[in-house]
Amino acid sequence: MNIFDLIPQELFSILASPNKAVYADALLVLYDAFQENLKIPKDTLYTMIRSRLENALVYSSFDDEGIEEEEAKDLSGKARFLIRKLKEKGWIDIERDDDFFEYIIIPEYSIKIMELLKSLIDGERSGGFSYVYDTYSALKFVHEDMNSTADEKLSALNTAYDKTTAMAKTLRKIYHNINRYVGQLIDNDDINEILIAHYDDFYHRIIENHIQPLKIKDSIPKYKKPIQNVLDAWLDSEALIDGITNASRSEKQCMDEQRHEIVSKIYFIRESYETIEHEYLDEIDEKIRKYTRATTRKIEYLTNTDRTVQGNLIYMLNALAHNKDDDSLLEKLQSTFDLYEQRYLSENGLYHNRKAQKKIKTDPVLIYEPSDDLRGRVEEEYNHILNSRYSKHRVWEYMDNMFGKAPVVFSGDMNICDDHTYILSLLAVLYGNDRGASYKPVLMGQTIDKNAYAFPEIRFERKNQQ
């Protein structure tokens, strides 16, 4: 079966158009509407697209994509055009209910593709990464419970098998995904972008989400031996294997085939925990070390190298100065530059005896101990800083007021009307990465001009909503 027997022929055409970024954002808005509503009124989707993509729609032109003249005049028309385009290409359908209101219908393939786009942007959450402990707890519970049935042991074995398979798959994805960061590092010459890619993207998605759990809270060395002990005990019990086999039998498989499948799953889990540290984690650690070293060297190179004409000349002259006895280096440069070596004699180059200096006795330097008054002034100044109008707590209080009961706030929705609120909004981004912050800022990659102030488009998310 061909893939386009299941999906429309032009489904992906909007993601290859000049306005692909706008269409991708519109799909993410559509996915948010799908998560928030069972029935999605067309007016609701229109309102969400118009408010969230306001800046993108202002600077976008759909003249070559069939937009009507009336639609191209304002934001409302462009928002309606996006909905019409999504319907034409097969991403959505529109139905009219008994109440004569129009509702958005999303096909299953659209939902799956939007989920993929969302996961690629947000990354996997570390909270659900507990493959090792889930395997251990499932096997340990039924093994120690003398009243557990063969069906329960079969369920625990299938859970352990699925978790082990998923863990190996995730680690393979991590190994291959590191190459993407290496490619970005090679092509990137901006130090700030390199640092953001390393600490905000690579460290969060690879280290925090996957590597740290497998070595700390979801530790393979901690649970490997208990898991293998349970599996060895099961392999030693013919009666237990027979019971699990009988519980899993189906009309399509004979007894021997089902028994072979059960034993194969047990051996797969056991051998996976025997080899996964060396064959997977060690290889990933080495790849991470190489990427980290390459990042450090790239930053040092960009920091210390002046790649202008003047910088290249300075680099060349320094190389000649450090290798002044290497005539071959000078000969290599003669074809491009008319260079020659010049030496001169100066007073600094002549030898002269070191003049002895007489030590002069001076009065001892008195060291004063800090008085209580000084310590009091320091504490007073410290308390003044803590209680200043731009302290972390003041900024977090400002963000709590902005959120209200909403889980998400956009910087475009903030009432930034003076310098005070403008500074608070900027500090909200700076302090949002602190451990004590109750929210997380996510840069959207766009700029907003509002009330004579320019600031980036940012989505603030409450941490407890993730």
Picking from 284, 304, 324, the residue at the C-terminal end of a domain is: 304
Question: Mean of the per-residue pLDDT values for the chain?
Answer: 81
Gap between the Cα atoms of 264 and 269, Å rounded: 9
- Give the pLDDT confidence of 278-326 residue by residue, as tens digits: 888 888 888 888 888 888 887 877 776 655 666 677 677 777 777 777 7
How many structural domains compose the chain?
Answer: 4
CB atoms within 10 A of CB 272: 21
Instruction: Tell me: do 328 and 197 sit in the same domain.
Output: no
In this structure, is residue 408 part of a structural domain? yes
pLDDT of residue 127: 43
Span 17-38, average pLDDT:
89
Q: Which residues contact 303 (CB under 8 A, 6 or more apart)?
A: 191
Instruction: Tell me: do 111 and 215 sit in the same domain.
Output: no
pLDDT of residue 185: 77
Q: Tell which wins on pLDDT, 129 or 373.
A: 373
In this structure, is residue 453 part of a structural domain? yes
In this structure, is residue 366 part of a structural domain? no
Gap between the Cα atoms of 363 and 242, Å rounded: 95
- Asked if residue 7 has pLDDT above 80, the reply is yes
Lookup result for tokens 């993929």: 116
Residue 23, H or E segment: helix 20-36
In this structure, is residue 353 part of a structural domain? no
In this structure, is residue 450 part of a structural domain? yes
Q: What is the DSSP string of 287-355?
A: HHHHHHHHHHHHHHHHHH---SHHHHHHHHHHHHHHTTT-HHHHHHHHTTS---------GGGS--PPP
Q: What percent of the chain has a predicted confidence (pLDDT) above 90?
A: 11
Q: Which residues contact 168 (CB under 8 A, 6 or more apart)?
A: 272, 276, 280
Instruction: Tell me: do 282 and 317 sit in the same domain.
Output: no
Instruction: Tell me: do 117 and 23 sit in the same domain.
Output: yes
Picking from 304, 319, 334, the residue at the C-terminal end of a domain is: 304
Q: Which residues contact 174 (CB under 8 A, 6 or more apart)?
A: 206, 210, 211, 284
Gap between the Cα atoms of 340 and 62, Å rounded: 62
- Give the pLDDT confidence of 215-230 residue by residue, as tens digits: 777 788 888 899 999 9
Span 65-72, average pLDDT:
82
Q: Tell which wins on pLDDT, 384 or 58.
A: 58
Instruction: Tell me: do 424 and 279 sit in the same domain.
Output: no
pLDDT of residue 370: 57
In this structure, is residue 338 part of a structural domain? yes
The answer to whether 444 and 456 have CB atoms below 8 angstroms apart is yes
- Asked if residue 161 has pLDDT above 90, the reply is yes
CB atoms within 10 A of CB 135: 28
pLDDT of residue 159: 92
The answer to whether 135 and 269 have CB atoms below 8 angstroms apart is yes
Instruction: Tell me: do 159 and 221 sit in the same domain.
Output: yes
Identity of residue 71: E
Nearest Cα to Cα of residue 413 among 429, 402, 404: 402
Residue 136 burial (C-beta neighbours within 10 Å; 0-12, 13-18, 19+): buried
For residue 439, report the phi and psi dihedrals to the nearest 5 degrees. Answer: -140, 170
Instruction: Tell me: do 23 and 164 sit in the same domain.
Output: no
Instruction: Tell me: do 80 and 65 sit in the same domain.
Output: yes
Span 245-273, average pLDDT:
82
Span 28-54, average pLDDT:
89
Gap between the Cα atoms of 412 and 217, Å rounded: 39
Span 389-393, average pLDDT:
76
Instruction: Tell me: do 433 and 321 sit in the same domain.
Output: no
- Asked if residue 465 has pLDDT above 60, the reply is no
The answer to whether 218 and 273 have CB atoms below 8 angstroms apart is no
Q: What is the edge-to-edge ordering of all strands in the sheet holding 439-450?
A: 408-410, 453-462, 439-450
Residue-range definition of the domain harbouring residue 324: 307-344
Instruction: Tell me: do 134 and 221 sit in the same domain.
Output: yes
- Asked if residue 371 has pLDDT above 70, the reply is no
Q: How would residue 385 be classed by pLDDT, with cut points 50, 70 and 90?
A: low
Span 374-394, average pLDDT:
70
- Asked if residue 430 has pLDDT above 60, the reply is yes
Q: Which residues contact 16 (CB under 8 A, 6 or more apart)?
A: none
Buried b / exposed e over 377-403, threshold 16 CB at 10 Å, is: eeeeeeeeeeeeeeeeeebbebbeebb
- Give the pLDDT confidence of 438-452 residue by residue, as tens digits: 888 888 878 888 878
- Give the pLDDT confidence of 122-158 residue by residue, as tens digits: 765 444 457 888 999 999 999 988 888 989 999 999 9
Q: What is the dihedral of CA 286, 288, 293, 298, to 10 degrees?
A: 140
Q: Tell which wins on pLDDT, 334 or 369.
A: 334
Whichever domain contains 34, its CATH number is 1.10.10.10
Picking from 121, 148, 181, the residue at the C-terminal end of a domain is: 121
Strands 453-462 and 40-41: unpaired
In this structure, is residue 262 part of a structural domain? yes
In this structure, is residue 386 part of a structural domain? yes
- Give the pLDDT confidence of 189-243 residue by residue, as tens digits: 777 888 877 777 787 777 777 777 777 777 888 888 999 999 999 999 888 888 8
pLDDT of residue 230: 92
Nearest Cα to Cα of residue 65 among 106, 7, 22, 27: 22
Instruction: Tell me: do 211 and 143 sit in the same domain.
Output: yes
Instruction: Tell me: do 12 and 113 sit in the same domain.
Output: yes
Residue 427, H or E segment: helix 419-431
Gap between the Cα atoms of 312 and 297, Å rounded: 19
